[in-house]
Amino acid sequence: MTLAPPPAQVGDGPLELIRFIGLEPGPRLIVTGAVHGNETCGPNAIDRVVADLRAGGLALARGEVTFLPICNRRAYRQGTREGTRNLNRDLRDKPVPQDYEDRVGNALCRLLRAHDVLLDVHSFKGEGPPFVFFGPQDNRGPLEPFAHAGAEAALAACLGVEVAMHGWLPAYEKLHAGRARLGLPALAPTEGHGTTEYMRFTGGYGVTLECGRHDDPASVDVGERAIHTALAQLGLIDAPAPAPCVRRLIRLDDVILRESDGDRLEGEWRTGDAVAAGAVFARREDGTPVAAPRDGFLVFPDPRAEIGKGMTYFAVASERAIPGLAAP
């Protein structure tokens, strides 16, 4: 088994790609890792699959697959989430790049435009089950118009994790509104846009797979299995269609901002933890309780969030249906 190079051996650039092209036509998949530099499960899962393809244990029958194991090489070398800033925020073409992430982002955007489907492999710092993020239903609205909801949901449903979430950009719009209410500096309108949002903007589709805790060896197994099932789901390899395995579908509904230094979460929370209507999960600096407005879940709880950032997102059971899981 090969492993991604140690951070000390990685420079800031150029980006390194590994591409396999089948001998029959088919979709063009791109698999990315280390958009955040401290999330090493992506590079290591990709390296396992690349080794299988090179050794002949896995054969690409049709289409193309491009692997970008390390997107943010500076952050990966530093062992930090970010190099200069968060690469997975405000991702768009920038004709006049201002920082390292802008330059990487321009290269990444070119790559995404050249593909049909994205699997972006991540991990997280807290406890909780692996999960997959996917996008909106088909729509022509101004926030995130989309035309591939069925195919994207089918991909999300088969990646080997039991929890799926959607609703990222509508929740992020509430973050913008909350910052305005607090009189904080406005963020870029595209601040909530990352790899999958850009992929949908270009006419493709994509999902973000959160494989588990950063330092859990099992997260690499989750990523490797997901890449295999994505190849099968898209018909790039000759393999049975993977079965859907999502058992819980969640929609982000709101974001609870840290408004002052004394705001705090109450208790220990993990992404996906259920919270009952009326249950207090945070308090403001003056002691005012923050309670769940209805039965729901906490997502991305962050006790160290900066003022104007989310202490946690509040989510609810989704009204949508995806393969293998009917609407409630």
DSSP 214: T
- 10-22: pLDDT as tens digits: 678 899 999 999 9
Indicate whether 2 pLDDT > 60: no
Burial 60-95, CB ≥16 within 10 A → b, else e: bebbbbbbbbbbbbbbbbeeebbbeebbbbbbeeee
Determine the average pLDDT of the residues in 51-77: 97
| One domain, residues 280 and 139 | no
Q: Is 78 helix (H, G, I), strand (E, B) or coil?
A: helix
- pLDDT (mean) for 249-266: 98
Domain-embedded: residue 289? yes
Do 273 and 154 share a structural domain? no
Structure tokens at 192: 């909530």
Whether 64 and 195 map to the same domain: the answer is yes
Q: Is residue 232 part of a domain?
A: yes
pLDDT tens by residue, 186-223: 999 999 999 999 999 999 999 999 999 999 999 999 99
Chosen domain end from 191, 220, 246: 246
| Domain that residue 97 falls in | 7-246
**pLDDT band at residue 1 under the 50/70/90 scheme:** very low
- Do 103 and 230 have their domain in common? yes
Boundary residue ending a domain (195, 216, 246): 246
pLDDT of residue 195: 98
86 with 120, same domain: the answer is yes
Residue 9's pLDDT band (cuts 50, 70, 90): low
Give the CATH number of the domain where residue 253 resides: 2.40.50.100
- Residue 5: pLDDT band (50, 70, 90) is low
In sequence order, which ranges of the chain are alpha helices (DSSP H)? 41-55, 73-78, 100-113, 149-157, 168-181, 195-201, 218-233
Confirm if 307 and 184 have CB atoms less than 8 A apart: yes
81 and 226 together in one domain = yes
pLDDT over 80 (residue 57): yes
Q: Which positions ≥6 away from 105 have C-beta within 8 Å? A: 87, 91, 92, 93, 94, 97
Answer yes or no: do 270 and 238 share one domain.
Answer: no
In tens, the pLDDT along 113-154 reads 999 999 999 999 888 899 999 999 999 999 999 999 999 999
Q: Is residue 228 in some structural domain?
A: yes
Q: Are residues 179 and 144 in the same domain?
A: yes
Quick: pLDDT tens for 147-189.
999 999 999 999 999 999 999 999 999 999 999 999 999 999 9
Q: Do 297 and 225 belong to one domain?
A: no
User: Tell me: the pLDDT tens digits for 73-119?
Assistant: 999 999 999 999 999 999 999 999 999 999 999 999 999 999 999 99
Domain boundary among 195, 229, 246: 246
Tokens of residue 168, six digits: 């990222």
Model pTM score: 0.95
- In the numeric block, the tokens 């692997």 are attached to 67
Regarding whether 90 and 188 lie in a shared domain, the answer is yes
Q: Are residues 240 and 285 in the same domain?
A: no
Q: Please state the domain count of the chain.
A: 2
Tell whether 280 and 233 lie within a shared domain: no
* Dihedral class, residue 281 (left if φ above 0, else alpha if ψ from -120 to 50, else beta): alpha
CATH number of 58's domain: 3.40.630.10
List all residues 6 or more positions away from 255 whose beta carbon is below 8 Å from its beta carbon: 171, 172, 174, 175, 178, 310, 312, 313, 314
Annotate 39-74 with DSSP letters as a single string: -THHHHHHHHHHHHHHHTSS---EEEEEEES-S-HH
